[in-house]
Amino acid sequence: MSRLLWSMLDSPLTRALCSPMSVDDYLTTFNPLWSVHQARARIEAVEPETPDAVSLWLRPNHNWRGHRAGQHVVLGVEVDGVREQRCFTVSVPPGQDMLRLTVKRNGDGRVSNHLVDHARVGDIVELGGPAGEFVLPEPRPDRILMLSGGSGVTPMLAMARQLAAEDYQGSVVFLHYSRSYEDTIALQEMREMAESWPWLDLKLCVTEQAPLEGDHGGFFSAEQLDELVPDSAERHVLLCGPDGLMKQVHALHEQRPFAALEQEEFVAPSISSTGEGRVRFARSGREADGESAGTLLELAENQGLNPEYGCRMGICQSCKCTISEGTVRDVRNDQVRQVRDEALQLCVHAAAGDVQVEL
């Protein structure tokens, strides 16, 4: 459709004619990808990566506005009749016809497991806007260390391809950890990138298997880093991976700093203490005991409310809601403060006194 037609569909007259339904309700009957405002995508391919991970190739509709290499999106998908949302990193650089989201099975993860087991070509999913500040630094450093583990490889793939598209002239060491070769996402893709781009030095480490010739074994350590990347202290480090790896790298950075350290992580914040006071959900008239362990999002769900959410770890902004007044604690850093008429992420804030939420 032309831009003119889309603007006509979004006019007050068109909305009035469609009432009590929405314009999108009618558009979807003709084509499930059509929407006036909502970014949606069709799954064009489901590509197995490992026994517990797949890559979904998505063709977005006209409402997709693009992303930066390293950013993630909130993916909306229906699971057992319920609309669920979760964050996934886009593992291709911007400017492509299709997006790639790599999804790994995650314990009892409702959405990840559903996508790994049941995603099919032709399925329609919803896309939130791109988010996240884990992107290539400006200006581009001359020397970069991409350090990843497990599914943390996904933003690195996008960033490396972005550098290639820019004809990068610096030096990148790509140090990646996985349990085994069978468990390594994009194994062949990484090897092909290293063969094609002389500025990329790939170093693969497997922790539960004998390494092949040219690769390495064992877990991350300062000694291993010194051996594999002797000039690591002079490099701009981009870090993404499991909690254990992140903590080790941070501890090393405190002892002997890198030139710079930026990170993305896929771990939910832990709640360090119970809340205080009472939480009132103003629009529904429901109340919860703030002294119960849990974030404001969890307290709302315990009261039968269904606020929007995505990542549940303070990344995607989907669960932002206005706090009319009250005292809250950020569970990521234990900071307590008074707020009034402020939109906060419910998934990373707990009550630290009486709180009123506009839900």
Region at 326 (left for phi over 0; alpha for psi -120 to 50; beta for the rest): left
Closest CA to 172 of 149, 191, 196, 197: 197
At 27, the pLDDT band (50, 70, 90 cuts) reads low
- Per-residue model confidence as pLDDT tens digits over 99-124: 999 999 887 778 899 999 999 999 99
Rounded to the nearest integer, the mean pLDDT of the chain is: 87
Q: Let me know: does 186 contact 49? Beta carbons within 8 Å.
A: yes
- Does 237 have pLDDT greater than 60? yes
Spell out the domains of the chain, with CATH numbers in brackets.
38-127 (2.40.30.10), 143-265 (3.40.50.80), 278-357 (3.10.20.30)
CA distance 60 to 65: 9
Element (H, E) at 222: helix 222-228
CA distance 51 to 63: 33
**pTM of model > 0.85:** no
Higher pLDDT, 32 or 80: 80
- Per-residue model confidence as pLDDT tens digits over 239-279: 999 989 999 999 999 999 999 999 985 544 454 445 678 89
- Per-residue model confidence as pLDDT tens digits over 129-178: 788 889 999 999 999 999 999 999 999 999 999 999 999 999 999 999 99
Q: What backbone phi and psi angles, to 5 degrees, belong to 255? A: -75, -45
